[in-house]
Amino acid sequence: MTDKRDYYEVLGVEKSASAGDLKNAFRRLARKYHPDRSTEEDAEDRFKEIQEAYAVLSDDQKRAHYDRFGHDGPQGSPFGGFGGGININLEDILGGDFFSSFFGGGSRRRQQRRGNDILLRHSVDLKDVYLGSEQEVVLDLPEPCSTCDGTGAKGGELKTCTSCSGQGQVRVRQQVGPFIQESVQACQDCSGRGKVAEHPCDACNGRGQEMKSNTLRFNVPEGAEAGTRLRMRGKGEPAPRGVGEAGDLFIELEIEPHRWFERSGSDLIMSLPLGYADLLLGTTVELEHLDGKPLVIKVPAHSNSGETVEIRKRGLPRQRGGGRGDVVVLLKLHMPKKVPKAAKKSLEELRGDLAPKDTEQSILDDTNERRRS
């Protein structure tokens, strides 16, 4: 007796399942357990089991034999009495797109290659992000050779590619589990064009490209974050040998550190060192903000070091929902390294008035307040 699972159970169908039911079940399970796609630990074993079940049940003669004898049929083949092995056209069942995701093939139409994308990292300061700004950069970018029109051929003269016989595509055989999968891919020698250069262009050495200076202008969005990528279509590398679309240019923003602001989403965070008198009596500090307008920080009397003052709607523009974030100011007690003698004398006279009257009670009050918050 064999310990194999029932083939109908493997595919999750009834014994009365039609050919269409079997095919749909196999398609669903094969996509789930294909070893090149699945993350299941037993994916390879499950995939082989599914293939074996479908190979038998999709064949009318083998299915009738299996329904009569089960796994213990005569002849002792690798499939329990069902000779002939597995003969399944996976591309027909799963579709060419399934295999093209692994091998880049599957389409039987001539494929045109696309030029490579280019990534440019560009630094801006926080003010550019606060207000939004227009930027301009000058750089060398590849363009189709003006001498050969991007063909890479001297005088633009091309001959038929011998690798693909001018078809622009070749058949490639790939091992997919226990199967040999045949797919159609663009010919690498002619970049899918079907023709190659008779003699390379002298100006570009057959590359079909030349570097030219370009002036690019683009806008930095208000509130943009570090790592934001701006896309300029068609500004990347030209397609190989001038066949196909040019790639894109991506500009990745890097934001230079500000002198005192740190960013937290749309909020701007800063610390403000103050003397003890300013914290005790209160004060007002005015700074120039990123928009050129005054940023007025009002410190209430009896403030403590570590407390914050929020200035509403003076932060960065919010990417979602509109409006602006806040400026959050962290108050810090400034401790001078040197104190004049006259100041020391005055502080000594004020020590008793400024210190807690009852140290232990002061500790308890501070603890309770901290716990409530």
pLDDT the model gives residue 369: 81
| List of residues 6+ apart from 63 with CB closer than 8 A | 56, 57
Domain topology for 118-255: Chaperone, DNAj Protein; Chain A (2.10.230)
229 pLDDT above the threshold of 60: yes
pLDDT computed for residue 2 by the predictor: 57
Q: What is the model's pLDDT at position 220?
A: 92
Give pLDDT, residue 77.
42
Closest residue by Cα to residue 120 from 255, 247, 229? 229
Question: Distance from first CA to last CA of the chain, Å, rounded?
Answer: 73
Residue 143 host element (H or E):
strand 133-144
pLDDT reported for residue 263: 93
Tens of pLDDT, residues 43-96 = 888 888 888 888 889 888 888 888 888 876 544 443 444 444 444 555 555 554
What residues does CATH 2.10.230.10 cover in the chain?
Answer: 118-255
> Residue 103 above 50 pLDDT?
no
**Whole-Å CA distances, 215 to 4, 141, 218, 248, 264:** 69, 10, 10, 16, 33
Kindly tell me if the per-residue pLDDT of 42 is higher than 50: yes
Gyration radius of the chain's alpha carbons: 37
Which pLDDT score is estimated for 94?
55
Look at residue 179 in the predicted model and tell me its pLDDT.
60
Average pLDDT over residues 342-369: 80
Instruction: State residue 40's pLDDT score.
Output: 79
CATH superfamily label, 262-372: Urease metallochaperone UreE, N-terminal domain (2.60.260.20)
Looking at per-residue pLDDT, the higher value among 53 and 347 belongs to 53
Would you place residue 128 in the very low, low, confident or very high pLDDT band (cuts 50, 70, 90)? very high
**In terms of pLDDT, which residue wins out, 74 or 346?**
346
Among 4-13, 140-149, 187-196, 255-264, top mean pLDDT goes to 255-264
Task: Out of 143-157, 168-182, 232-246, 279-293, give the one with best mean pLDDT.
Answer: 279-293
Distance (Å, rounded) from C-alpha 9 to C-alpha 4?
A: 10
Whole-angstrom CA distances from 302 to 212, 250, 281, 297, 357 are: 64, 52, 6, 15, 17
Most confident of 86-90, 110-114, 341-345: 341-345
What 3-state class would DSSP assign to 318?
coil
The answer to whether residue 371 scores a pLDDT higher than 80 is yes
Buried b (16+ CB within 10 A) or exposed e, 33-63: bbeeebeeeebbebbebbbbbbbbbbeeebb
Taking all residues of the chain, what is their mean pLDDT, rounded to a whole number? 82
Q: Inter-axis angle of helices 60-69 and 43-57, to 10 degrees? A: 100
Residue intervals in the chain for CATH 2.60.260.20 = 262-372
Specify the pTM: 0.56
- Report pLDDT for 278: 92
Pairing of the two strands 169-176 and 179-186: antiparallel
CA–CA dist 208, 152 (Å, integer): 4
Average pLDDT over residues 110-123: 79
Q: How far apart are CA 204 and CA 98, in angstroms?
A: 39
78, 49 contact by CB (below 8 A): no
CA–CA gap between residue 297 and residue 111 (Å, rounded)? 63
Distance CA 119, CA 230 (A): 10
Which positions ≥6 away from 229 have C-beta within 8 Å? 250, 251, 252, 253
Mean pLDDT of 177-186: 69
User: Can you give 255-300 as a three-state secondary structure string?
Assistant: ECCCCCCEEECCEEEEEEEECHHHHHHCEEEEEECCCCCEEEEEEC
Tokens at residue 25, please? Answer: 């079940």
* Least reliable range by pLDDT among 181-185, 220-224, 232-236, 309-313: 181-185
- All CATH 1.10.287.110 domain ranges in the chain, comma separated: 7-88
Nearest alpha carbon to residue 255 among 224, 232, 219: 224
Reported as a single tens digit per residue, the pLDDT across 191-219 is 777 888 878 888 888 888 889 999 999 99
Write down the pLDDT at residue 81.
Answer: 46
- Averaged pLDDT, 220-238: 90
Distance CA 366, CA 373 (A): 11
Architecture of domain 7-88: Orthogonal Bundle (1.10)
